[in-house]
Amino acid sequence: MILGLETSCDETAAAVVTDDGRVLSSVVASQAELHADYGGVVPELASRRHLELVAPVVREALRAAGCELAAIERVAVTQGPGLVGALLVGLSAAKAIAWARRLPLVPVDHLQGHVASLYLGEAPVEPPFVCLLASGGHTLLLAVRARGASERLGTTLDDAAGEAFDKGARLLGLDYPGGAALDALARAGDPGAYRFPVARVPGLDFSFSGLKTSLLYKVRELAPEEIASRRSDLAASYQHAIVRALVQRLRQAAEQAGLERIAVVGGVAANSELRAALPEAAFAPFAYCTDNAAMIASAARYAPALAYPSYLGLDAYASAA
Ligand code: KG4
Ligand code: ZN
């Protein structure tokens, strides 16, 4: 049995997962409300909240799984990328738990964690496949040839896809993080009402920063009454532009890598238009799209474990290598 911990951003999460990928518990305490007033995650506030929540969340994960700490055989934890102060809380807690019971510790890359969310649930996805990882912090195209082994095909040159959703949502007056609210608002709108261009960059990379600027200009250009009456059209058109760019690049990547199967993970994988636009794709189970610790424990099944006590000096890292 693996105990997983995740504290890379604004979710404090712990989970118990078996070696064959059954999720016995997955507890996620979101801090979204804490940061909503600031329109984004405030790193220092996030670290402090993680510190308050990490022990109760681990306790709750063990209780919900119906297992004692004594039954845990490995501890898995997100080492990076993320907010360093936030990561250090989870990493220190994981070290302490592992050290106290002389267990091995598995440091997990957060991005590999998102990919490993595909190996949980009723219908796990088997490599090889091309994977789109689209979250608040990352937009990546990966060729996954085996569980635990992936190669980067493309990434964003500026904003992440989730960030584009969040910034657009903010311009439309929705609270942070606005991705899911924009998705809901867009359902009542016409995706063809406005044209928002997505920059075409060479290769398999993305660029979303211009898109947010064009929404900003559009919002400035419209009269307040028109914005109010056309909010859902604006949301639908804006969302459509992001989804179109993601789908285009993903299909192109699959072709170039010679991989038939495609998969989507990360918070943006929860988007309803993206799901509808890719009927052939495998999506991470809904509950494991946004940050959680079950995916971290899942990834630990395919990553090397460090023996007690060699992990005590382990450090967190902020950005992807
Ligand atoms: O994976 P995640 O929890 O965090 C990171 O690792 O960054 O992703 C969070 C992101 C946020 O930007 C949020 O707005 C977006 O995922 N998101 C969505 C939806 N649900 C969450 N974006 C579009 N449509 C959704 N339904
Ligand atoms: Zn994430």
User: Can you tell me whether residue 307 is helix, strand or coil?
Assistant: coil
Is it the case that residue 27 has pLDDT exceeding 70?
yes
The preferred substitution site among 268, 273, 295, 319 for testing ligand 1, maximizing ligand atoms within 8 Å of CB, is 268
Please tell me if the CB atom of residue 168 comes closer than 6 angstroms to any atom of ligand 1. Answer: no
The residue contributing the CA closest to ligand 1 atom 24 is 271
Report which secondary-structure segment, H or E, holds 143.
Answer: strand 139-146
What pLDDT is attached to residue 71?
97
Report which secondary-structure segment, H or E, holds 253.
Answer: helix 224-257
Atom of ligand 1 at shortest range from CA of 138 = 7
The residue contributing the CA closest to ligand 1 atom 7 is 136
Q: What is the mean pLDDT of residues 127-139?
A: 96
| Per-residue tokens: 168 | 């657009």
Distance in Å, CA 166 to ligand 1 centroid: 8
Is it the case that residue 90 has pLDDT exceeding 80?
yes
Query: Model confidence over 29-82: pLDDT tens digits?
Result: 998 888 888 888 899 999 999 999 999 999 999 999 999 999 999 999 999 999
More confidently predicted of 122 and 219:
219
The arrangement of strands across the sheet holding 105-109 comes to 23-30, 11-17, 2-6, 74-80, 105-109
Query: Model confidence over 43-54: pLDDT tens digits?
Result: 999 999 999 999
Query: Model confidence over 227-273: pLDDT tens digits?
Result: 999 999 999 999 999 999 999 999 999 999 999 999 999 999 999 99
With pLDDT > 70 as the criterion, what percentage of the chain qualifies?
Answer: 100
What pLDDT is attached to residue 321?
61
CA-nearest of 76, 77, 72 to 62 is 72
Please tell me if the CB atom of residue 288 comes closer than 6 angstroms to any atom of ligand 1. Answer: no
CA-nearest of 133, 130, 154 to 262 is 130
Which amino acid, one-letter code, is at 226? E
What pLDDT is attached to residue 36?
84
Query: Which residue shows structure tokens 């902020």?
Result: 318
Distance in Å, CA 177 to ligand 2 centroid: 13
Backbone angles phi, psi at 70, to 5 degrees: -65, -20
Name residues with Cβ closer than 5 Å to ligand 2, which is an ion. Answer: 135, 291
